[in-house]
């Protein structure tokens, strides 16, 4: 038996519904303008923490003093956070692409097309075949000038340092996992990590990147892939962090660390956006996963 789908509500009806549930809306016209810009359902994810809990069940009614302007402030913070996180990730991604293309190219310009020249994971079969099929699809759909050039001059064969440029982050992470051990160790060492650590970080940050690219809610997300961390004593700037690595602030710390070790990007971007977290009584910065002393907790965030 399926629940009955709720009927369509006008913008005015949506505002009245929120008010009936206890939300304080001082400017109805402004609220309607916001709902025209941001879907009611999308915005509901930001007022979810403001809904009362009774006997472990989340209610429709809001806690006292819940203000629409606070919901909008959280939403707008999350917009900024997604944009800045995406920008901060980009130079890290480009650096990993460059390193992987360079190190694999030493073996053979077309090493990625021959699993016998890659690592044991590639020779396992199914995973490599699925990756190769996806690569061929991405190549066929690419409209990059360099792909057209190689099609015309070299019959479409791309050397690996060119091929890495058409891979999305997920495919790039798989190519890293397929690589010979010495290649993976060289790249991981450049990042200040072990091979298993870097592999887990690439997977974790791929999900962060996808959340940003698809406008998912980021600030209070619980991330499903836990990064493997270096042993205590290896990196003092990570040792000093006391955070939940499954929360967004922990994931942002991974970006800060890689930006530092790879010497790329602007390491002031993420601290600057975290500073703009709105002062909302019911949703403190701990929802981001950041400690109250986050700015002093590590040189990565100072």
Q: pLDDT tens-digit profile of 194-224?
A: 999 999 999 999 999 999 999 999 999 999 9
Calculate mean pLDDT across residues 49-68.
95
Range scoring the smallest mean pLDDT among 21-30, 90-99, 125-134, 138-147: 138-147
- Categorize the per-residue pLDDT at 1 as very low, low, confident or very high, splitting at 50, 70 and 90: low
- Categorize the per-residue pLDDT at 242 as very low, low, confident or very high, splitting at 50, 70 and 90: confident
Mean pLDDT, the chain, rounded, equals 92
257 has which bridge partners? none
Range scoring the smallest mean pLDDT among 135-139, 263-267, 289-293: 135-139
State what percent of residues in the chain have pLDDT above 90. Answer: 83
Calculate mean pLDDT across residues 127-142.
88
DSSP state of 288: G
Residue ranges of alpha helices (H) inside 3-125 are 11-20, 28-37, 40-47, 68-107, 120-123
What is the rounded CA–CA span in Å between residue 273 and residue 70?
17
Categorise residue 22: left if φ over 0, alpha if ψ from -120 to 50, beta otherwise.
left
How many other C-beta atoms are found inside a 10 Å radius of the C-beta of residue 167?
Answer: 21
On the question of pLDDT at 26 being above 60, the answer is: yes
What is the rounded CA–CA span in Å between residue 300 and residue 257?
7
Helix, strand, or coil (residue 62): strand
| pLDDT at residue 123, as a whole number | 85
| pLDDT at residue 277, as a whole number | 97
On the question of pLDDT at 109 being above 70, the answer is: yes
On whether the CB atoms of residues 24 and 67 are closer than 8 A, the answer is yes
On the question of pLDDT at 89 being above 70, the answer is: yes
E strand or H helix at 61, and its extent? Answer: strand 57-62
On the question of pLDDT at 177 being above 90, the answer is: yes
* Contacts of residue 287, Cβ cutoff 8 Å, sequence gap at least 6: 49, 219, 220
| pLDDT at residue 142, as a whole number | 74
pTM: 0.92
On whether the CB atoms of residues 265 and 49 are closer than 8 A, the answer is no
Closest C-alpha to 287, from 217, 204, 227? 217
E strand or H helix at 60, and its extent? Answer: strand 57-62
State both tokens at 143. 């409209």
| pLDDT at residue 140, as a whole number | 81
On whether the CB atoms of residues 205 and 226 are closer than 8 A, the answer is no
């Amino acid at each position: 038996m399926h629940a009955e789908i709720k009927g369509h509500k006008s913008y005015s009806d949506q505002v009245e519904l929120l008010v009936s549930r206890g939300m304080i809306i001082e400017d109805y016209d402004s609220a309607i303008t916001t709902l025209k810009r941001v879907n009611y359902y999308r915005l509901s994810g930001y007022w979810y923490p403001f809904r009362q809990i009774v006997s472990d069940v989340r209610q429709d009614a809001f806690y006292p003093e819940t203000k629409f302007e606070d919901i909008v402030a959280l939403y707008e913070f999350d917009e900024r956070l997604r944009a800045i996180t995406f920008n901060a990730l980009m130079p890290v991604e480009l650096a990993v692409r460059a390193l992987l293309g360079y190190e694999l190219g030493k073996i053979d310009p077309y090493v990625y097309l021959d699993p016998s020249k890659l690592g044991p994971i590639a020779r396992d079969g199914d995973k490599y075949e699925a990756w190769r099929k996806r690569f061929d699809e991405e190549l066929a759909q690419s409209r990059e000038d360099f792909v057209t050039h190689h099609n015309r001059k070299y019959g479409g064969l791309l050397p690996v340092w060119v091929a890495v440029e058409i891979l999305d982050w997920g495919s790039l992470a798989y190519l890293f996992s397929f690589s010979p051990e010495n290649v993976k160790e060289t790249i991981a060492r450049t990042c200040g990590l072990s091979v298993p650590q870097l592999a887990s970080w690439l997977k974790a940050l791929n999900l962060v990147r996808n959340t940003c690219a698809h406008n998912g809610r980021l600030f209070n997300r619980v991330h499903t892939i836990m990064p493997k961390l270096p042993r205590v004593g290896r990196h003092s700037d990570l040792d000093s962090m006391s955070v939940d690595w499954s929360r967004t602030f922990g994931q942002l710390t991974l970006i800060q660390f890689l930006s530092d070790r790879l010497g790329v990007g602007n390491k002031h971007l993420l601290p600057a956006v975290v500073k703009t977290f709105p002062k909302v009584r019911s949703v403190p910065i701990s929802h981001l996963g950041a400690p109250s002393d986050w700015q002093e907790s590590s040189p990565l965030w100072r």
